[in-house]
Amino acid sequence: MYKFGFIGAGNMGSAIARGMCKNVAPSEIAVCDTDSAKTQALSASTGIAVTDIDDIAGNSRYIVLAVKPQALAGVLGSIKETLFARSDRFVFVSMAAGTAISRITDILGKSFPVIRIMPNVPCSVGAGMTLCAPDTQVTEEELDAFISSYEGCGAVDVIEESKMDAFSIVTGCGPAFAYLMIEALADGEVECGVPRDKAYLYAAKMLEGSAKLMLESGKIPSALKDSVCSPGGTTIEGVRALESGGFRSALIEAVRASYSRTLELGK
């Protein structure tokens, strides 16, 4: 019996599996995927077992659905008989974007305990931010056991499922926005004569440190921004350039666009 069985070894599924290895023995985790290269690479680097979808469906306490929303119906349909044949209790963990827990019940024609999560890629290094929404069938003990195992991936915030789509945009999509920002800042530094490797390092550490300072100081972003901007100085001139280029508006529009797409995927 596996504690966690992953159906899907894509970028997100692999990231979570790697993060979970910090708190869960690799021998208690199994993975399957139609792409054997992905599962073999994950197993080689972590020690996680590679098996087939029926084994995971029939022998995992938590069945992690690490598949795209479009593939969910096919995956659940293929393991329906195995699930119905089980006499023991198990919990689904679904990370299908924009997909409500009720969708799993609709596909299977029967309800099971489900924890819906929205993780992000930094989970693979234990620095993720994951939103978690259990349904009413999940017991407090099951939720606590899941979170305890999952905390190797980073922070977890338990919310109501009705808030998941809106709350998860920045946590789920935001890393891509952050990487674009790091890349752009590094390009600017390269233009100023900084070597590419140092430019990436400086930009990434700046973003990491700035976020840590905000979280630990409890100060709002505007107050911290003002503390860096001296009157008539270099930073306020850069801020002016960002405002002129529509920096904040572009980020707001990126969040709105991602949210709209999330709602589309859930239909």
pLDDT in tens, 9-63: 998 899 899 989 989 999 999 999 999 999 999 999 999 999 999 999 999 999 9
Asked if residue 67 lies in contact with residue 6, where contact means CB atoms within 8 angstroms, the answer is no
Provide the domain count of the chain.
2
C-beta separation of 100 from 69 below 8 A: no
Residues 255, 152: one domain? no
Q: Low-confidence residues of the chain, pLDDT below 70? A: 266-267
Residue 231 sits in a domain whose CATH number is 1.10.3730.10
Based on the domain organization, do 108 and 34 belong to the same domain? yes
Q: Which of 112, 132, 159 is the last residue of a domain?
A: 159
11 and 99 co-located in one domain? yes
Q: Please, are residues 48 and 30 in contact by the beta-carbon 8 Å criterion?
A: yes
Q: Please tell me whether residues 185 and 154 are part of one structural domain.
A: no
> Are 53 and 149 members of one domain?
yes
Shared domain for 74 and 105, answered yes or no, is yes
pLDDT on residue 147:
96
**Of 166, 122, 129, 158, the residue nearest 261 (C-alpha):** 166
CB 90, CB 33: distance < 8 Å: no
Residues 69 and 129 both lie in one domain:
yes
According to the model, what pLDDT value does residue 263 have? 82
State whether 117 and 174 are in the same domain: no
Q: What pLDDT is recorded for position 265? A: 73
Tell which of 122, 140, 159 closes a domain.
159
Q: Which CATH number goes with the domain that contains 125?
A: 3.40.50.720
Based on the domain organization, do 72 and 118 belong to the same domain?
yes
Q: 193 and 117 in one domain?
A: no
Which domain range does residue 135 map to?
A: 2-159
Question: Among residues 159, 178, 201, which one ends one of the domains?
Answer: 159
In whole angstroms, how far apart are CA 16 and each of 29, 31, 137, 162, 261? 11, 11, 23, 23, 23
User: Does residue 177 share a domain with residue 134?
Assistant: no
**Are 96 and 154 members of one domain?**
yes
Total-model pTM: 0.86
pLDDT at 124: 80
What pLDDT is attached to residue 266? 66
